Amino acid sequence: MTITKIDGSYAIAMANGVETQVNYAMMPDIRINDKVLVHAGFIIEKLDEEQAREIEETWAEYYAILEKEDAKADRI
């Protein structure tokens, strides 16, 4: 997820076009455009560019597989 806004003790993080309010109390040094890992509404890790890229690629592969399976199901 990418941090798009910081407001008080919460931030807005976006992934795949979906915005989510997250608590950054455990990672107070976040900045706008930081890539983060979120669990249960809390930022638990700040990611470096390589980690973020790997995660985004994995999600892209997952969505591509789902689209293929949906296309197969539509033909049946």
Alpha-carbon gap, residue 10 to 25, rounded angstroms: 8
Confidence of residue 74 (pLDDT cuts 50, 70, 90): confident
Average pLDDT on 1-10 reads: 95
Structure confidence at residue 72 (pLDDT): 74
Predicted pLDDT of residue 76: 66
Domain hosting 16: range is 2-75
How far is 36 from 42, CA to CA, in rounded Å?
A: 10
Q: Which residue has the tokens 């197969």?
A: 72
16 pLDDT band, cuts 50/70/90, is: confident
User: What CATH code is carried by the domain that includes residue 56?
Assistant: 2.30.30.140
What is the total count of domains within the chain? 1
Mean pLDDT of the chain: 93
